[in-house]
Amino acid sequence: MTKTKAFILAVFAFGLMIPVWSCMAGDTAENVETSKTGEIVYLPREMITVETKAGQDYLFEVEVAANGSDQSRGLMYRTHLNNDSGMLFLFDDEDDRSFWMKNTLIPLDMIFVGRDGVINHIHHNAKPQDDTRITAERPAMAVLEINGGLAGTLNIKEGDRIIHPAFRNVLAPQ
């Protein structure tokens, strides 16, 4: 990647953060982690690309849940999620994963991802506040949650892939 392309990508990525922060700042709930000033504490954000077999690339800014407590909280109590945002749950290994929607107030698409970054299952429109377990047919190393119905709208399908350093499918900047 040239320095010019890297600069443009960095400017674009930074530009996406402004509307995400401003929109998410209004969320409130009793069990959401908050700072001393009452602001919601969000997880670290990173950029991912969903690369479809149809040739479309979609850029998302995701919060990364990489430890047990962050993964347990997930997107609970959130009242809004921008269409260019989501949460990426990263695990140390590929295994059977099970999620539920208890205390989650917005419908979500759950995208289960193998260690190579390839999407192996999509659960569309998980129902808010439902205790039913949602699992994939194959082991996953990650799960990407985005707005319910968005995977269908963007034509994201099983076999497409997620580009992120966790899957070792990103080239280092040059």
Q: What is the pTM for the complete model shown?
A: 0.78
pLDDT score of 170: 86
45-94, pLDDT tens digit by residue? 999 999 999 999 999 999 999 999 999 999 999 999 999 999 999 999 99
Q: Are 133 and 98 in contact (CB under 8 A)?
A: yes
Phi, psi dihedral angles at 153 (to 5 degrees): -60, -40
Question: Which amino acid is residue 25, in one-letter code?
Answer: A
- Per-residue pLDDT of 85-144, as tens digits, reads 999 999 999 999 999 999 999 999 999 999 999 999 999 999 999 999 999 989 999 999
Contact between 148 and 122 under an 8 Å Cβ cutoff? The reply is: no
Render 34-71 in DSSP notation, one character per residue.
B-TTSPBPPPPEEEEEEE-TTS-EEEEEEEEE-SHHHH
Query: In the predicted model, is pLDDT for residue 146 greater than 80?
Result: yes
Residue with tokens 């919601």: 40
Q: Could you give all domains of the chain from N- to C-terminal order, each with its CATH number?
A: 3-167 (2.60.120.1140)
